[in-house]
Chains A and B, each alone.
Chain A
């Protein structure tokens, strides 16, 4: 579904991704973690064809080079801390409907089909009764679910989620992850997600990648979740231990 082979990518004179290689298969749940500014968002934007590839090859659903943008129609994207104005006059329904805009093309308007789909997507994320509520007065978790519903418009095969749980409280975080996992497991959606908190996705992710301009580690969680490996990547002490049969990761001062 996605294949990066020795990819270098960046903006203008700044190279961000350096020699990144990985492959995401259909139906996989892949998670990228890494410090701020390590190129996680850039990686997702490269998949969307928004960042120029300087070297190497990016293949997304069979498209390469300049053709990569053609895969966009099959991708649902949730950008990082979306900077919308919460006072903007838009209902939850309006926001979800916007997910149909890029496929409609210039001048076309969303019709009955798109509106029916928007309601269905809201139902899918458990917010059907909030359709006519102003987006701005929903809770942070509800807003992220609305944005997820928007990303689901048009039946994408691949979901790109950029730190969807950041800024949410713990219960809203696990609710959202639960929803994403269900989309992956039950609907077979391929998911590539960027997050800060690896613990949220332990036991759910098929592959985990540590990005710091280059991919420092990449593989299934049981291989990658390793105290020694992570301590090197994060340049601080990282402890991986098992709790209730699930791996947990503690970064930094874990004596507290």
Chain B
């Protein structure tokens, strides 16, 4: 099995898979506990539109992706806060908007663009050294911010009302969280592609949730699940000659089903659904 590592491109693929799997799965915890899976998808579509624009106008597609993803995150944060529109609907709108832009930019491009397709489906095996460093650097920043502001992010996601009453800049922190999600997407886009990124953002965290009663352990567990499945999926794809993205996603989905089956017997899974106080006296 170690013969696997004698190829430079496989070493880079493995390192990238670890960085992407870990970073996206960690951010995925916030996406999942906040019920924002669709937000992740919206941001990813936005990033993809940015890539298309970059390729169309001839600037670095990753810069396009970064700017578009962050703008998308802030737009979603803003509309969510306006409260006039159901959060679900506002995300749906931005989702369609991003997709329409992507399709428009693609349409404006002459002929078939293979480069563009690689951002949709990714190609871990084609990662070069500079792309790996880019992912590593950005991933390090994202994780460092999460570690530094863990207590604040925990506070605003668990109890925004008290967090605000305690003087925390709740909106700013929430936007910050969305920006971190978009950066995690951007650092993964080249190697993993939009589809795999979305899987990493949702599935490991969903599995970890079934086994966690506390946020920090859930983050670590999710990160580990993402990392291990990325590595195992890559190895499987190498030896069985199947597309990497598919093997990783299928592995994650299989893990999710096994975990769901096992965890229904666990007393630790909170059975109550919904939110406290729903339908009772209105606040504010």
Q: Which residues of A contact B (CB under 8 A)?
A: 36-37, 41, 45, 48, 50, 69, 72, 77, 79-91, 94-95, 98, 101-102, 104, 106-107, 109-110, 132-134, 136-137, 140, 143, 163, 166-167, 196
Which residues does chain A contribute within 8 Å of B281, judged by CB atoms? Answer: 36, 80-81, 163, 166, 196
In the assembly, what is the distance between CA of A50 and CA of B152, in Å? 19
In the assembly, what is the distance between CA of A126 and CA of B148, in Å? 33
B274 to chain A: closest residue by CB: A86
Binary contact track B258-280/A, C-beta < 8 Å → 1, others 0: 00000000001011111111001
B35 to chain A: closest residue by CB: A85
The 19 sampled A-B contact pairs (Cβ below 8 Å) are A36-B281, A41-B283, A72-B166, A79-B165, A83-B161, A83-B275, A83-B276, A85-B158, A86-B270, A87-B209, A88-B215, A89-B209, A90-B154, A90-B213, A98-B155, A107-B148, A110-B151, A137-B271, A163-B281
Give chain B interface residues in 137-156, CB to chain A under 8 Å. 148-152, 154-155
B154 to chain A: closest residue by CB: A98
In the assembly, what is the distance between CA of A205 and CA of B270, in Å? 37
Whether the pair B161, A82 counts as a contact (CB closer than 8 A) is yes
Contact A86/B213 with A81-B280, A95-B158, A98-B159 known, Cβ cut-off 8 Å? no
A86 to chain B: closest residue by CB: B272
Among B271, B273, B283: residue with most chain A CB under 10 A: B283
Closest CB-CB distance, A85 to chain B, in whole Å?
6
Whether the pair B277, A83 counts as a contact (CB closer than 8 A) is yes
Whether the pair A87, B270 counts as a contact (CB closer than 8 A) is yes
Contact A101/B274 with A88-B33, A89-B214, A89-B218 known, Cβ cut-off 8 Å? no
Whether the pair A41, B214 counts as a contact (CB closer than 8 A) is no
Contact A102/B167 with A88-B157, A107-B148 known, Cβ cut-off 8 Å? yes
Whether the pair A89, B151 counts as a contact (CB closer than 8 A) is no
Whether the pair A89, B276 counts as a contact (CB closer than 8 A) is no
Range class of the B interface residue count:
35 or more
Which residues does chain A contribute within 8 Å of B270, judged by CB atoms? Answer: 86-87, 134, 136-137
Give chain B interface residues in 191-217, CB to chain A under 8 Å. 209, 212-215, 217
Closest CB-CB distance, B29 to chain A, in whole Å?
8
In the assembly, what is the distance between CA of A31 and CA of B168, in Å? 28
Which residues does chain B contribute within 8 Å of A109, judged by CB atoms? Answer: 150-151
Whether the pair B283, A80 counts as a contact (CB closer than 8 A) is yes
Among A88, A110, A136, A143: residue with most chain B CB under 10 A: A88
Which residues does chain A contribute within 8 Å of B166, judged by CB atoms? Answer: 72, 101-102
Whether the pair A48, B165 counts as a contact (CB closer than 8 A) is yes
Which residues does chain A contribute within 8 Å of B217, judged by CB atoms? Answer: 89
B63 within 8 Å of A (CB atoms): no
